Amino acid sequence: MTGLLDDLTIIVTGGGAGIGLGVVRQCRAAGARVIVFEVDPGKAETVEKTGGVFHRVDVADPVGLSEAITAVDECYGPIYGLVNNAGITIQKPLNALSLDEMELLWQVNQRSVLVGVQAAAPLMEKAGEGSIVNIASNHARASDQGYEAYAGTKGAIVAMTRAMAWSLGPAGIRVNALAPGLTMTETVSDLAEDPARSKEFNSWHALGRVNSVDDIGKLTAFLLSRNAAAITGAEIVADQGMSARLGAI
Ligand SMILES: NC(=O)c1ccc[n+]([C@@H]2O[C@H](COP(=O)([O-])OP(=O)(O)OC[C@H]3O[C@@H](n4cnc5c(N)ncnc54)[C@H](O)[C@@H]3O)[C@@H](O)[C@H]2O)c1
């Protein structure tokens, strides 16, 4: 069977857990060679079991991130895809958020996307094509108390994606933002062990269930693929209508 991403090399940041792991699994299922940039060495075994190649990379370190991207191009053939997924959430009352926390959110969630694309795009251009998916969040369009800095990074990812699509389109590179709603990662699944909480989470979604990490993985694999050739500069919202609901939540 021919896969959507047969023999293409794709980098997934933060691919050791949660949504990133779903992306690794679905890109592998679509035939890709998947290289994972992950800060936590404890996730190496899980990554390898899922069929990815583990590299310890902290996306908040711009030099390390750029060097790792160059090394992947040299070792595993031309880079076709980059999934900027690594991200952290800090929810705190607005006035309690420290400068260090603001800086960390900027470095991990937002600056890493700029630096990763700066390093990968020239290599993709040399190969003649490329596809980038930036994982945003539905917090880019509807947020809540205490998420100011996190939501800001996610809104920035959507805005940067639009500009990048125009910078890189002439080189044959597409750039899209994928904005998941609540997704069943380990953290969310721990919270959902409480039946009342689980019922509440499900009620936020038009289909009555929380997204799985593989739901997001499949969408990412499709956006990366040549079947999505007509899509660039887009924000694909994958929250089952949560942020579109009148008078929501
Ligand atoms: N889970 C959700 O409901 C949800 C919803 C919308 C958007 N998102 C976004 O999806 C992305 C993944 O989130 P998740 O919920 O799967 O997170 P997660 O915490 O389950 O997994 C994140 C992975 O990224 C790694 N990581 C963290 N910082 C890193 C760094 N500096 N360098 C390299 N790797 C790093 C972690 O070790 C972990 O393996 C994030 O960008 C997040 O904002 C998540």
- Integer CA distances (angstroms), 80 to 22, 52, 149, 175, in order: 19, 15, 31, 12
Q: Indicate the pLDDT class of residue 77, thresholds 50, 70 and 90.
A: confident
Question: What is the C-alpha separation between 87 and 219, in angstroms, rounded?
Answer: 18
Which of 88, 106, 189 best tests ligand 1's pocket when mutated (most atoms within 8 Å of CB)? 88
Beta strands in 28-158 (DSSP E): 33-38, 53-56, 79-84, 130-135
Q: Extract the tokens encoding 57.
A: 């990379």
- Chain segment 93-122, per-residue pLDDT in tens: 999 999 999 999 999 999 999 999 999 999
* Model confidence, pTM: 0.98
Which residues line the pocket of ligand 1, CB cutoff 6 A? 13-14, 16-20, 37-40, 43, 57-60, 85-89, 108, 135, 137, 180, 182-183, 185-188
Tens digits of residue pLDDT in 128-146: 999 999 999 999 999 999 9
Buried b / exposed e over 73-91, threshold 16 CB at 10 Å, is: beeeeebbbbbbbbbeebe
Domain range annotation of the chain: 9-183+214-239
Residue with tokens 């008078």: 247
Q: Cβ distance 57 to 15 under 8 Å?
A: no
3 state SS of 195? helix
CATH fold of 9-183+214-239: Rossmann fold (3.40.50)
